[in-house]
């Protein structure tokens, strides 16, 4: 595995190779990231992983300071999974890269875009650079961050970017909680509490209740357990709009806080 810090060096690799996969990350890798990496290694001749804690997508400075960082472990994980190129750029390296002028899609003011001001603009700004520095044939993104995935998909569509997006399922721990770098900030009892919420939502999803009743039931559960939350939304995954009526494309999206750590999931 080659570790590269300079954008020019990584970009020049593309003169000689085809069938490339790219897994962008914020670092502090876990089995969820590993699933994406393994998929890319299987489907491509060459796999790129980037580790870049992008300040532009953190709407809260403290959140970025607290974000778990474990570069030496990340490097080991990438080596173990046979990553070919690990890109670890500095802020200047990413943002001084000159890209073509492209348009950003219109983002619906729901969920993360409503509660984390500027977050997705920050995500698009970094993806715009990274996908130009690493113009891979396939980009691996997790459904754990479904709204982000949808926005990047829209961005690729309107700008006719040829890279194919490979959607990857959410990897969970044995209790059903989605793996997340932020889980590393939580004690075992907190992880258990978070898993209980997810399992409750899973149950409610399939009860024969109206959407309003389901939502009420989930919110009551959160209140009873003194869990603060930003939203509980029922989304039509096909259209990516808020649902009014039951649909087989329904997924329940949630952002909640456990010991001040914000977790998101969709079930």
Rounded to the nearest whole angstrom, what is the least distance from the CB of residue 263 to ligand AMP in the complex?
11
Smaller CB distance to ligand AMP: residue 39 or 214?
Answer: 39
Give the H/E segment covering residue 132.
helix 119-133
Smaller CB distance to ligand AMP: residue 177 or 218?
Answer: 177
User: Distance between CA atoms of 127 and 121, rounded to whole angstroms?
Assistant: 10
**In 126-163, which positions are buried (b, 16+ CB within 10 angstroms) versus exposed (e)?**
bbbbbbbbbebbbbbbbbbbbbbbbbbbbbbeeeebeb
* Marked catalytic residue, from 30, 33, 113, 119: 33
Instruction: Find the angle CA(212)-CA(176)-CA(255) to the nearest 5 degrees.
Output: 50
Rounded to the nearest whole angstrom, what is the least distance from the CB of residue 228 to ligand AMP in the complex?
22
Given a contact cutoff of 8 angstroms between Cβ atoms, the answer to whether 37 and 81 are in contact is yes
Given a contact cutoff of 8 angstroms between Cβ atoms, the answer to whether 59 and 163 are in contact is no
> Of 127, 67, 117, which Cα lies nearest the Cα of 97?
127
Smaller CB distance to ligand AMP: residue 67 or 209?
Answer: 67
Rounded to the nearest whole angstrom, what is the least distance from the CB of residue 101 to ligand AMP in the complex?
25
Rounded to the nearest whole angstrom, what is the least distance from the CB of residue 180 to ligand AMP in the complex?
6
Smaller CB distance to ligand AMP: residue 184 or 216?
Answer: 184
Rounded to the nearest whole angstrom, what is the least distance from the CB of residue 205 to ligand AMP in the complex?
19
Give the H/E segment covering residue 22.
strand 20-25
CA 256 from centroid of its chain's CA atoms: 16
Q: Is 33 a catalytic residue?
A: yes
Given a contact cutoff of 8 angstroms between Cβ atoms, the answer to whether 57 and 51 are in contact is no
Site residues (CB under 6 A) for ligand AMP?
25-26, 32-33, 35-36, 141-142, 144-145, 168, 170-171, 178-181
Question: Where do the DSSP E strands lie in 88-215?
Answer: 138-142, 164-168
Smaller CB distance to ligand AMP: residue 7 or 266?
Answer: 266
Pairing of strands 250-258, 229-236: antiparallel
Question: Which residues are part of the catalytic machinery?
Answer: 33
């Amino acid at each position: 595995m080659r570790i590269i810090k300079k954008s020019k060096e990584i970009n020049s690799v593309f003169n000689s190779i085809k069938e490339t996969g790219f897994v962008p990350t914020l670092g502090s890798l876990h089995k969820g990231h590993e699933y994406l990496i393994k998929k890319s290694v299987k489907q491509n001749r060459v796999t790129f992983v980037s580790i870049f804690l992008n300040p532009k997508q953190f709407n809260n400075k403290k959140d970025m300071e607290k974000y778990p960082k474990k570069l030496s472990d990340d490097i080991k994980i990438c080596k173990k999974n046979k990553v070919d190129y690990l890109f670890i750029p500095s802020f200047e390296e990413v943002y001084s890269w000159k890209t073509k002028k492209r348009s950003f899609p219109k983002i619906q003011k729901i969920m993360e875009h409503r509660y984390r001001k500027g977050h997705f603009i920050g995500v698009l700004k970094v993806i715009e650079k990274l996908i130009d520095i690493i113009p891979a044939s396939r980009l691996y993104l997790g459904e754990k961050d479904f709204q982000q995935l949808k926005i990047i998909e829209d961005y690729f569509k309107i700008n006719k970017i040829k890279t194919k997006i490979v959607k990857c399922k959410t990897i969970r721990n044995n209790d059903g909680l989605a793996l997340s770098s932020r889980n590393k900030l939580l004690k075992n009892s907190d992880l258990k509490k978070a898993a209980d919420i997810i399992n409750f939502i899973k149950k409610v999803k399939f009860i024969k209740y109206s959407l309003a009743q389901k939502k009420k039931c989930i919110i009551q559960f959160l209140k009873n357990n003194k869990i603060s939350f930003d939203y509980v939304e029922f989304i039509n995954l096909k259209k990516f709009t808020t649902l009014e009526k039951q649909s087989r494309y329904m997924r329940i999206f949630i952002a909640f806080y456990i010991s001040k750590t914000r977790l998101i999931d969709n079930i």
